[in-house]
Amino acid sequence: MIVSIDVDAQKTFTPLCPDELPVQHGNEIVAELNAQAKLANWRVMTKDAHSPRAAWLVENAREMLQPTGLKNADLTWVSHAIVGSRGFELLDGLPDIDGYDYCVWKGVDPHLHPYGACYHDIEQRLSTGLLEWLKSKQVNTILVGGLATDYCVKHTVLQLLAGGHWRVIVNASACRGIAPATVEAAWSEMYDAGAIVLEHAEAIREYLKSHPHVSRET
C-alpha cells in the first residue's frame, strides 16, 4: 500500500505571504503533489498551525533563528501559519480537508514548534499518530513532497525512516527549500538515512513499476 504525504504545502511558505516565511517558488509544487498522490492509495496532509501568542515569536527576520531556551521550540521565528490566517491555508489547487485521509496539525501549543510530522515535540516523545496510522494501513511505500526541503520535509522524512520498515521516496520536483547550502545538506542527510530521491512524479511512477517493494532494512 502506498501513501502520499503533502508536507506543509501552505501559503505561509511561499511568496504569496512575503512577510511570513516565503520560500522561493514554493507555490509551484501543486501539480507535482497532485501527480504523486495519483500513485497512492491514501493521501496525508500536514500543516503548521500556530498561535499568535507562540513563545518563539519575534517581530522581524533579523531576530530569527536564535536559541529560545525552550525544550520543544528551539529557535525563534517570525509569525507564520497562524490558524485562520491566509498563510495557514493550503496552496490553491490542493484538495480541501475532506480530500485527505489523515491530517496532522503541527505546533498548535504555543510552547511547541516541531518540524517533523510524526511528533508534536522536538524530543520525539509525543506522537501525532501518523506512524501508528501508517502501520495500521500496512503501508509499504511513502511518497513525500512539500515545504521546506531543509526543514519540515527533511525532518518528516528522517522520522518516517526511523519509524518503520517502509520505503520512503522523496519527489524532488514537489519540494522547495530555503537556502542552497542547507537544501544540499538536507538531500544528503535524507539519502544517507535511506530515502530514495527521484526527480518528479513520472520518475516515481516508473520506479514503482520496475521495483516491486521489498521492506527496507534497518
Q: DSSP assignment of 13-44, as one string?
A: GSTTSTTS-PPTTGGG-HHHHHHHHTT-SEEE
Residues 6 or more apart whose CB falls under 8 angstroms from that of 181 comprise none
In a domain, 217, yes or no: no
- Structural domain includes residue 108: yes
pLDDT at 215: 57
Residue 101 lies in a domain: yes
Instruction: Express each pLDDT in 70-120 by its tens digit.
Output: 999 999 999 999 999 999 999 999 999 999 999 999 999 999 999 999 999
Task: Tell me if 19 is assigned to some domain.
Answer: yes
CATH of the domain at 197: 3.40.50.850
On the 0-12 / 13-18 / 19+ scale of CB atoms within 10 A, 203 is middle
User: What are the pLDDT digits (tens) for 154-169?
Assistant: 999 999 999 999 999 9
Q: Is residue 215 part of a domain?
A: no
Q: Is the pLDDT of residue 217 over 90?
A: no
Residue 218 belongs to some domain of the structure: no
- Report whether pLDDT(216) > 60: no
| Domains contained in the chain, number | 1
> pLDDT tens digits, residue range 49-62?
999 999 999 999 99
State the Cα–Cα distance between residues 135 and 33, nearest whole angstrom.
22
- pLDDT band at residue 212, thresholds of 50, 70 and 90? confident
- Name the grid cell of 140: 509499504
At residue 135 the predicted structure's pLDDT band, cuts being 50, 70 and 90, is very high
Degrees to nearest 5, angle at CA 49 with 200 and 60: 95
Dist. CA 69–CA 79, nearest whole Å? 18
Segment 25-47 shows an average pLDDT of: 98
Q: How confident is the model at residue 218 (pLDDT cuts 50, 70, 90)?
A: very low
Domain span at residue 102? 2-210
Asked if residue 216 is part of any domain, the answer here is no
Q: Closest by alpha carbon to 174, among 152, 200, 194, 150? A: 200
